[in-house]
Amino acid sequence: MSAVPLEVVEAIASEQPAGRPVTPHVHISLNVRGLSQSSTLAINERSARLEREGRKVYRMGLGQSPFPVPASVVEALKANAHRKDYLPVRGLDELREAVAAYHGRAQGIARTADDVLIGPGSKELLFILQLCFYGDLLVPSPSWVSYAPQAAIAGRQHRWIDTRREDGWRLTPKSLDAICRDDPDRPRILILNYPSNPLGVTYSIGELRALARVARRYGLVVLSDEIYGELHHHGQHASIARWYPEGTIISGGLSKWAGAGGWRLGTFTFPPELRGVLDAMAVVASESFTSVSAPIQHAAITAFSGGPDMELYLQRSRRVLRQIGPAIAARLRAAGCDLDDPEGGFYLFPDLSALRERLAARGIHDARLLCERLLEDTGVAVLPGSDFGRSPAELSLRLAYVNFDGAAALQGAAALNDDAIADADFLDAYCADCMAGIERMARWFEAL
């Protein structure tokens, strides 16, 4: 076939009406139109912009671990920086073996390397899961900001399951049963994240057993997001996979308990009964991200293999979080907020319903405007509960108490008694900026 002569192309182009610029016909997918940037990332970028303008900002929006990556894991990354080859789509064999062994040690769950899939963050793996699994996504409210938008992008229906403050915002077996009962055979994935972002709460063994019974009754696939599991404040995390092994996918990674959010390494661990889902996800992975960074996968073996240095790192991380969370919760309760002490992770979800009339007198009727005014008046950057699936009119907030020097705090934790909680001297020495932001916010509430 011969090419069209250049003079013919130019003649056609010259026939376009004068004054009518030709523009590309761009049509954004209906699954994406109307969606905004993830609010946790947006608040972090806005905070950085305000700081560049000279404002003092207390960053409590993005939940990035304040702790450094463990030294042994960093050394492993350095030792493997020369590795440049593509790795298997499902992940490095030795890493998948280490992840399977980790779940065996931590939870007594027998898995093999063949049950593990490695991805560039658990967030990406969750999105691919929704692409591959044809069914609804069940999301307890409140939940992490990206679960529902991912379902929309993937063209899946998501359904919020409401929770109540009197239940500690936890999903109950009764509410899970109610949403499944009318169409018991409908395919569904239940997201269960604990310790929770945005709540800081977790589930007891009894609660997990009860939820597992309902999940088994309806044949649900449970995506157990346990990215904060190692940050249970007393090291007592339990996985629902212990009581519903055949239907539970365990989601984990390095971002929260190993301080390596920017490394982007996530793990999904499947039961043999869901091997078909793993296989389908691996196909999509082969056509999308190909494989995770080779040096990071090699380094992650050290993290998942554990050992005395990793255990000491985790013990001290938990010790630090036990000082900050209860101290913040107590101060906010004194200022009129309704919330419990956190049980894991580094989040709190205060309810300001008791202050509704005083806030209304200041023209504040919803949580988004409340957050705007807090940022403007106090410099404290937090997120509204509506970003996590709550009603816009509900006066709830999510704060991440991570604005402190994690490396210094880990060193200071060495001198703490393991039973210490909300130690005032420790907070003054290592968490002053964090506590100062909370104090500014609490006084703002008290001055309403």
At 365-399, the pLDDT tens digits run 999 999 989 998 999 999 999 999 999 899 999 99
Statement: residue 13 has pLDDT above 70: no
Statement: residue 18 has pLDDT above 80: no
> ω into residue 392 within 30 of 0, thus cis?
no
SS3 336: coil
Q: How confident is the model at residue 83 (pLDDT cuts 50, 70, 90)?
A: very high
Q: How confident is the model at residue 149 (pLDDT cuts 50, 70, 90)?
A: confident
Tokens 């092994």 sit on residue: 245
- List the end-to-end C-alpha distance of the chain, in Å, as a whole number: 78
Q: Tell me the C-alpha distance between 241 and 181, whole Å.
A: 22
Q: How far is CA 369 from each of CA 71, 73, 189, 362, 398, rounded to the nearest angstrom?
A: 42, 42, 33, 11, 14
34 or 191: which carries more pLDDT confidence? 191
Q: How confident is the model at residue 7 (pLDDT cuts 50, 70, 90)?
A: confident
Percent of the chain with pLDDT over 90: 81
Over residues 29-82, the pLDDT tens digits come to: 777 676 666 666 677 787 788 778 888 889 898 889 999 999 999 999 999 999
pTM: 0.91
At residue 9, the pLDDT reads 63
Statement: residue 1 has pLDDT above 60: no
Q: Tell me the C-alpha distance between 109 and 97, whole Å.
A: 13
Strand-pair category, 266-269 with 116-119: antiparallel
Statement: residue 193 has pLDDT above 90: yes
Percent of the chain with pLDDT over 70: 93
Q: Tell me the C-alpha distance between 253 and 123, whole Å.
A: 10
Over residues 237-279, the pLDDT tens digits come to: 999 999 999 999 999 999 999 999 999 999 999 999 999 999 9
